[in-house]
């Protein structure tokens, strides 16, 4: 049967499709992955994480529905998560074996392939904003340590005392890790509050959460631009200026005009597999040959996380977003704090492996 569409109908159809495309936006968020299981989680704690993830969607989604830029949405959501002590980024960051917080972050603009990153910064309140400033103002892609902080001061970014980042549970979790490594206990940072008792179970959870809690966001705005960003304190009791995948463009963060990825997990594996860029590459390869695209992001994410990462013995996960607004996640840990929302999809929030 041949269906003829009149000229007017065709025009209306085209206009409707165009309008749909115009209005399309999406956001996907993670707050770290690891051994996050129901029986080690209190109701209160679970509600706090779900609430924070919901708030992250709200913050980003409002910017995107109003026609704002993906770059602004990603930065705004990560800034809020950096201030939330639940997450291992900004306030709430894990401690190094020397009792300091060394923060890493990166951001990438898929439309231009511009990118910025900071690694090992200790006093910048919002490392993600520093990463964006590196991208926009420095002429470089990655700045580290004291140099990154000198640049941030020139940019008038906000600095805080080290005690700002302090949380008791992260401190005690580092003390336990340092003890296991047989290293001397570092002194409590100046300005830190008096020690308080943390329920043993909470510390166990933290450690089995696998010191994760890194945050990441990928957003698609109504102009069809994709931006990805990631911010972290790294891994508990890290040593010698260790830097993970989060500030490494291609490993922990990547975006093109077709896809965006933010990762969380043991960075040493993600760097070696170039995880984020690899997923984007798989999506391009698959898109070229595939007749249908809807599952490309999910397939590519699974291929790299359940395949290459797992085969290498790495642990963690990713969030992925495609230009068509498809959001996906894949992780090989028991859980991952995650959430997504978009013009074409309802809000989804998940923690454990057996949720949607
Ligand atoms: N990927 C981060 C790192 O290795 C840690 C994490 O995601 O939890 O620094």
pLDDT one-digit tens code per residue, 314-353: 999 999 999 999 999 999 999 999 999 999 999 999 999 9
Give the pLDDT score at 194: 85
Residue positions annotated with a catalytic role: 214
Q: How confident is the model at residue 200 (pLDDT cuts 50, 70, 90)?
A: low
CB 282 within 8 A of CB 273: no
In angstroms, what is the span from residue 76 Cα to ligand 1's centroid? 21
In angstroms, what is the span from residue 234 Cα to ligand 1's centroid? 5
Query: Going by DSSP bridges, is the β-strand pair 26-34/253-255 parallel, antiparallel, or unpaired?
Result: unpaired
In angstroms, what is the span from residue 349 Cα to ligand 1's centroid? 21
Give the CATH architecture of domain 5-11+22-352: 4-Layer Sandwich (3.60)
More confident residue, 124 or 4: 124
Residue with CA at minimum distance from ligand 1 atom 8: 212
**Average predicted confidence (pLDDT) for the chain:** 89
CB 168 within 8 A of CB 146: no
Give the pLDDT score at 14: 43
The pick from 101, 118, 207, 214 for probing ligand 1's pocket by mutation, whose C-beta has the most ligand atoms within 8 angstroms, reads: 214
The pick from 119, 241, 249, 265 for probing ligand 1's pocket by mutation, whose C-beta has the most ligand atoms within 8 angstroms, reads: 265
Residue with CA at minimum distance from ligand 1 atom 7: 264
The mean per-residue pLDDT over the stretch 242-256 comes to 98
In angstroms, what is the span from residue 119 Cα to ligand 1's centroid? 12
The mean per-residue pLDDT over the stretch 33-50 comes to 88
Q: Which residues line ligand 1 (CB under 6 A)?
A: 32, 88, 212, 214, 232, 234-235, 244-246, 252, 264-267
Give the pLDDT score at 211: 56
Distances (CA, A) of 28 to 163, 166, 278: 31, 28, 19
Q: Which residues pair with 28 in a beta bridge?
A: 218, 340
Residue with CA at minimum distance from ligand 1 atom 9: 234
Q: Residues of the chain with pLDDT > 90: what percent?
A: 77
In angstroms, what is the span from residue 112 Cα to ligand 1's centroid? 26
More confident residue, 74 or 4: 74
Q: What backbone torsions phi and psi does residue 207 show, to the nearest 5 degrees?
A: -70, -35
The pick from 105, 271, 316 for probing ligand 1's pocket by mutation, whose C-beta has the most ligand atoms within 8 angstroms, reads: 316
In angstroms, what is the span from residue 94 Cα to ligand 1's centroid? 10
CB 82 within 8 A of CB 206: no
Give the pLDDT score at 141: 98
pTM of the full structure:
0.91
Give the pLDDT score at 205: 58
The pick from 106, 228, 246, 332 for probing ligand 1's pocket by mutation, whose C-beta has the most ligand atoms within 8 angstroms, reads: 246
| DSSP assignments along 223-281, one per residue | TS-EEEEEEE--STT--TT---STTSBTTTEEE-SSEEEEEEE-HHHHHHHTHHHHHHH
Tokens of 197: 């008792």
CA triple 65-276-287, angle to 5 deg: 75
CB 78 within 8 A of CB 231: yes
Q: Residues of the chain with pLDDT > 70: what percent?
A: 87
In angstroms, what is the span from residue 230 Cα to ligand 1's centroid? 10
In angstroms, what is the span from residue 332 Cα to ligand 1's centroid? 14
Given a cut of 70, whether residue 104 has pLDDT beyond it is: yes
Residue with CA at minimum distance from ligand 1 atom 4: 267
Give the pLDDT score at 287: 53
CB 50 within 8 A of CB 349: yes
The domain spans of the chain are 5-11+22-352
Q: How confident is the model at residue 290 (pLDDT cuts 50, 70, 90)?
A: low
Which ligand 1 atom is nearest residue 270's CA? 1
Q: How confident is the model at residue 8 (pLDDT cuts 50, 70, 90)?
A: very low
Q: How confident is the model at residue 208 (pLDDT cuts 50, 70, 90)?
A: low
Q: What is the dihedral of CA 98, 35, 125, 142, to 10 degrees?
A: 80
The per-residue pLDDT for range 61-85, each reduced to its tens digit, is 999 999 999 999 999 999 999 999 9
CB 125 within 8 A of CB 158: yes
């Amino acid at each position: 049967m041949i269906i003829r569409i009149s000229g007017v109908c065709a025009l209306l159809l085209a206009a409707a499709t165009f309008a749909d495309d115009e209005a399309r936006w999406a956001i996907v968020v993670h707050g770290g992955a690891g051994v996050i299981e129901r029986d080690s989680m209190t109701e209160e704690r679970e509600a706090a994480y779900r609430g924070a993830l919901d708030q992250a969607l709200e913050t980003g989604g409002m910017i995107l529905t109003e026609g704002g830029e993906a770059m602004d949405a990603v930065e705004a959501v990560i800034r809020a998560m950096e201030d939330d002590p639940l997450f291992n980024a900004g306030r709430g960051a894990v401690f190094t074996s020397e009792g300091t917080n060394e923060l890493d972050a990166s951001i990438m603009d898929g439309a231009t392939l511009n990118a910025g990153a900071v690694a090992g910064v200790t006093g910048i309140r919002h490392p993600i904003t520093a990463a964006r400033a590196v991208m926009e103002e420095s002429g470089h892609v990655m700045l580290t340590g004291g140099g990154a902080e000198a640049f941030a001061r020139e940019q008038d970014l906000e600095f805080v005392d080290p005690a700002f980042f302090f949380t008791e549970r992260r401190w005690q979790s580092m003390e336990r890790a340092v003890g296991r490594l047989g290293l001397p206990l570092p002194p409590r940072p100046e300005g830190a509050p008096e020690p308080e008792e943390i329920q043993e179970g909470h510390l166990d959870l933290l450690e089995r959460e696998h010191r994760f809690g890194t945050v990441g966001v990928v957003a698609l705005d109504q102009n069809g631009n994709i931006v990805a960003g990631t911010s972290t304190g790294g891994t508990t009791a890290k040593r010698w200026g260790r830097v993970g995948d989060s500030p490494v463009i291609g490993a922990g963060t990547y975006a093109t005009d077709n896809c965006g990825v933010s990762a969380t997990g043991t960075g040493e594996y993600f760097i070696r597999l170039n995880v984020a860029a690899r997923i984007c590459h798989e999506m391009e390869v698959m898109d070229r040959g595939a007749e249908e695209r809807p599952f490309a992001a999910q397939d590519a994410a699974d291929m790299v996380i359940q395949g290459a990462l797992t085969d290498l013995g790495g642990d963690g996960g990713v969030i992925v977003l495609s230009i068509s607004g498809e959001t996906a996640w894949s992780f090989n840990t028991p859980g991952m704090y995650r959430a997504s929302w978009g013009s074409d999809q309802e809000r989804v929030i998940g923690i454990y492996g057996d949720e949607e």
